[in-house]
Structure formats: C-alpha cells, structure tokens
Amino acid sequence: MAVLAKGRVFAAATLAALMMATGAQAAGQCGKDGSGFAAWTEAYKADAQARGIDTRPMQGVKYDTGVIKIDRSQHKAFKGTVEQFLARRAPASYVSKAKGYMKSQAGLLRKIEAQFGVQPEVLLAIWGMETGFGANSGNKSVFGPLATLAYDCRRSEFFTNELDSALEIAQKGYISAAQMRGAGFGELGQTQFLPSKYLQFAVDFDGDGRRDLIHSRADVLASTANFLRGHGWSAGGGYRPGEANYGVWNDWNRATIYQKALAEFAHRIAN
C-alpha cells in the first residue's frame, strides 16, 4: 500500500503543531541520520509506556539504513510509462494467474462482492500487484523499519502513528509480534496493509476468530474490499480514469502511475 502522506500548507502545519503535541514530539527529537536514533527510541518507549503501550516488540531495534535509502528513492520506482510499470508489476503471466483465481475462487469472490460491493478483478489486481498473490509479502520484522521512519524527520508523525498501531496489534494479540513481518516499510500481509489500516479495516471473513492478513486468503481479500468500501467505493461502479471509483485508487496509493496501472490490470483480468 505504502500510502504517502499529503503535503499541507505551512500555516495549517504550524497551527496544528501549536495545538497538538504528537507522539513523535512527545517522544523526542527526530533526526536525519542514525546518530540520535538510540536516544529517540528510549524516549519513545518511555512515552509509549506512559500511554499504556507495550513496547517489548521493539527490543533490539536498530536504525535501518536500507528503509531510509528506499524511502528517499521511491520516486524512481514510479518512473516510465504505464505499460513499463505493468511489465514490471503485473506482466501477462499475472493476468493469466488472476484469471485462474477468478475461476478457482469464484465462490469466495462472489461472497465478498455481495457484502462489500467490490468487483473480483479489482481485488485480484491489488493482490497481484502488491505481493504477486501472496508470494512476496516479505519476511522482515515491521518494528525496526517503523521505528526508523518514525524517528526520521521526513514523515515522523505519520510513521509514529503506524508504530503505535503496530504495537497495539501485537499487544492485543491480533497478530503475534513474531509474525508481524513484511516487505520493509511496516506493511502487513498479502495486500500490504499499514498497521493503522489493519486496525481500521481488517475483517475476519473466514470466521476463525482472527483477522489474519498473512495466511487467510478470505481475510486478505475481504479486508481489501472493506478498505476500498471504507474509502468511498461505489458498488459495481467503474474504476478506470474518469469513472466513478477511479478516485478511490488514490487512497490506496498516491502515485498516479500506480493508480493507472491498477485500473488497467483489473480491466485486463476482467476481459
């Protein structure tokens, strides 16, 4: 998902800073390199614990230079044409695989569409583009990258909220801390939910008592549909440029080329 926080005008940002102390501000000074990370981490833990958050999953976290490097170069991943992007992220083999899932998972997809109003090809496009239908969800603990990005000044407030949310997920036992592993930006599961979005939109669709976006295909696809519905998806509406649901893609990913590619990928699956 990796949704990028929108910019705000200077006056609004200043007013917000004056009116409210964020978790990041309460924790300590953000930084632009790793030199202050250890001190920030200890300050964050003290603040979080005072707010009733169990920080034990953060034990041993280190400044992640890899995630900072990727964060600084995200724009490179979204260069080129839509067709070039599709060739990398949704090649013809993915379209064929998705068409196979349209048949093999038809019953599940119909139930999800009946409840949430999201077309099967849309869910399959997201699932395929995000993790290759669950094959590439990642195996890196979310806590180090989230702590690093929360400390980093570029989007400290945004990722402090995600770190808080990740710790809440572990503390409440929704997913064990050991299982909270992803591709490197703190995303969870087969369609890469940020922790705060897990808390808002994850659903237990298979009825086993857990909202499992790591192992349960039913939960993964239904939760993705719930996210889209929660952001204004119109049941059965079009999703290509100029159609009713095209704007909802922006709430999944802010990159224009990603939005166009998802819409085209879904269209190819359906046709």
List the CATH code of the domain at 31-73+138-188: 1.10.8.350
What stretches of 51-119 show up as alpha helix (H) in DSSP?
65-72, 74-77, 82-89, 92-104, 106-116
Cα distances (angstroms) measured from residue 125 to each of 99, 122, 232, 264: 10, 5, 18, 9
Q: Which two tokens stand for residue 13?
A: 């940002």
Q: Which of 42, 121, 130, 157 is catalytic?
A: 130
Per-domain residue ranges of the chain: 31-73+138-188, 78-137+198-270
Residue showing tokens 């603040």? 47
- pTM for the whole structure: 0.88
φ, ψ (nearest 5 deg) of residue 162: -70, -35
Q: What is the pLDDT of residues 16-53, one digit of tens each?
A: 333 334 444 445 799 999 999 999 999 999 999 999 99
The sign one gets for the Cα dihedral 24, 27, 29, 30 is negative
Give the span between the Cα atoms of 51 and 23, in whole angstroms: 10
Q: What is the pLDDT of residues 132-187, one digit of tens each?
A: 999 999 999 999 999 999 999 999 999 999 999 999 999 999 999 999 999 888 99
3-state helix, strand, coil in the chain (%, to 5): 60, 5, 35
Residue showing tokens 């979080």? 48
130 noted as active-site residue: yes
Exposure on the CB side of residue 53, measured as CA atoms within 13 A: 22
Please provide the size of the chain in residues. 271
Give the span between the Cα atoms of 104 and 88, in whole angstroms: 25
DSSP 140: E
Q: Which amino acid is at 183?
A: A
Give the span between the Cα atoms of 87 and 57, in whole angstroms: 38
The sign one gets for the Cα dihedral 208, 213, 217, 220 is positive
Q: What is the pLDDT of residues 198-228, one digit of tens each?
A: 999 999 999 999 999 999 999 999 999 999 9
Determine the pLDDT at residue 246.
98
At the topology level, CATH places domain 78-137+198-270 in: Lysozyme (1.10.530)
